[in-house]
Structure 1
């Protein structure tokens, strides 16, 4: 029997909300990010923050995390350690599977194994989005949490398998400051990705005027899409949250006045 480095993973509900929002931002390519938190003495990983990553190479079936991105996430984890007064570190990664099964591919399993060489507690999370239930024909979201294990006999090339790790979404009473900041940064990240892709085409000297106009039109369409599916709904959600907070503050103020009047 293969021993697991983790007994389970607890993910804060607001972190899950950020990861899901990121996964739903595009159904054409996979997106990715890094998970920040801590592992307690009982081998339980607690995920309390997330770092969305900007893709330098957008592909339908592959995501890559550069050493620079890992380093920047580690710096952010160190900052959160000082802000929250508790140990925080990069302890996992997540990515999306649009229109395909939630289970990790052989590339995902090998990538996970590579991260575990650096940290045996490192965990992977995959969110499957834009998939349709075969019976109800409704859109469904699936999520899985996994690690990798080498199942090869000694002396033979490694053959990695997926080890499923129990994942619990833990309720939160509010949206944390770090998660709110990540949600606000998402449209900017998507905009920068599209802008970088367009800028790369402007450096191609052989493109005709028609090709240049087409590329500019593609950029405009992409930015409109970001506004429609990400920025617009985000502003609406934040406005509703603000209205709810104002209402709650008024209720608490009224309750305070009632108690003081007794």
Structure 2
């Protein structure tokens, strides 16, 4: 069926954007989970993929990662009691336009061979408005059509709360980034040159410190702020209940 529109849940948007803003030197990517009905795709979850190779201008999905995402979709189908599947992918464009490259269009075309409703999202991050000098974030949703990109209407659907799956994915991001750094450092361990070994260890330590400073600490602060906000709401509701009970007693 012809894809008419894509609905992206707000909490999934937050997960993808957090991932896209985790680094401005390399592209990041992940897979999108949801369902499709009557030409409308609804995205309800995201899976962050660990990069085996960091590149500035492209990202790739390995068969193992697709299998992992498929298994996660099956798990969510049982957990949510509704059918969901892998419906698309997302990746970042740090410091460049949101427009899909010819590589992006080719990758998208490959996935549409398996699923005609498969979609791609691109987050352009760390771009600066030339007039105001403010940082901008742009998002586009596209498909491949005869070797060219075709923009698909995208709606961000408000969500009352952050879903459990999105919370889990957000908290896993620092761990995934740390694992990437560990894998990159593995090949440089125990170098015979002491100065080279010290340098490599320092680079890894700096990278892990970056993850802590840019991802982990703000995430903890955000969750703590939401926790404080929830406590305030609970206190307000308790007072409202007490007020209503007093009114009932006086009637």
> So what's the TM-score if we normalise by structure 2?
0.96
Q: In the alignment, does 2:178 pair up with 1:191?
A: yes
- Give the deviation of 1:223 after TM superposition: 0.6
SS of structure 2 residue aligned to 1:188: helix
Which of residues 99, 117, 127 in structure 1 aligns to 2:113?
Answer: 117
- Give the deviation of 1:196 after TM superposition: 0.4
SS of structure 1 residue aligned to 2:88: strand
Which of residues 18, 37, 41 in structure 2 aligns to 1:45?
Answer: 41
Which of residues 70, 81, 86 in structure 2 aligns to 1:85?
Answer: 81
Q: In the alignment, does 2:125 pair up with 1:129?
A: yes
Structure 2 residue runs without a partner (length 5+): none
Structure-2 residue corresponding to 1:201: 188
Farther off after superposition, 21-30 or 78-87: 78-87
Structure-2 residue corresponding to 1:22: 19
Structure-1 residue corresponding to 2:243: 258
SS of structure 2 residue aligned to 1:26: coil
Structure-1 residue corresponding to 2:163: 176
Please give the root-mean-square deviation of Cα atoms over the aligned residues, in Å: 1.2
Farther off after superposition, 243-252 or 107-116: 243-252
Give every structure 1 segment of 4 or more consecutive aligned residues whose post-TM-superposition deviation is greater than 3 Å. none
Which of residues 229, 233, 248 in structure 2 aligns to 1:248?
Answer: 233
Distance in 1 of aligned mates of 2:18 and 2:220: 13
Distance in 1 of aligned mates of 2:61 and 2:117: 18
- Give the deviation of 1:258 after TM superposition: 2.5
> So what's the TM-score if we normalise by structure 1?
0.92
- Give the deviation of 1:213 after TM superposition: 1.0
Which of residues 200, 205, 209 in structure 2 aligns to 1:220?
Answer: 205
Structure 1 residue runs without a partner (length 5+): 151-159
Q: In the alignment, does 2:65 pair up with 1:69?
A: yes
Q: In the alignment, does 2:136 pair up with 1:140?
A: yes
Distance in 1 of aligned mates of 2:175 and 2:4: 36
SS of structure 1 residue aligned to 2:187: helix
Structure-2 residue corresponding to 1:165: 152
- Give the deviation of 1:259 after TM superposition: 2.5
Structure-1 residue corresponding to 2:195: 210
Distance in 2 of aligned mates of 1:72 and 1:25: 22
Distance in 1 of aligned mates of 2:237 and 2:71: 38
Distance in 2 of aligned mates of 1:184 and 1:260: 40
How many residue pairs align between the two structures? Answer: 247
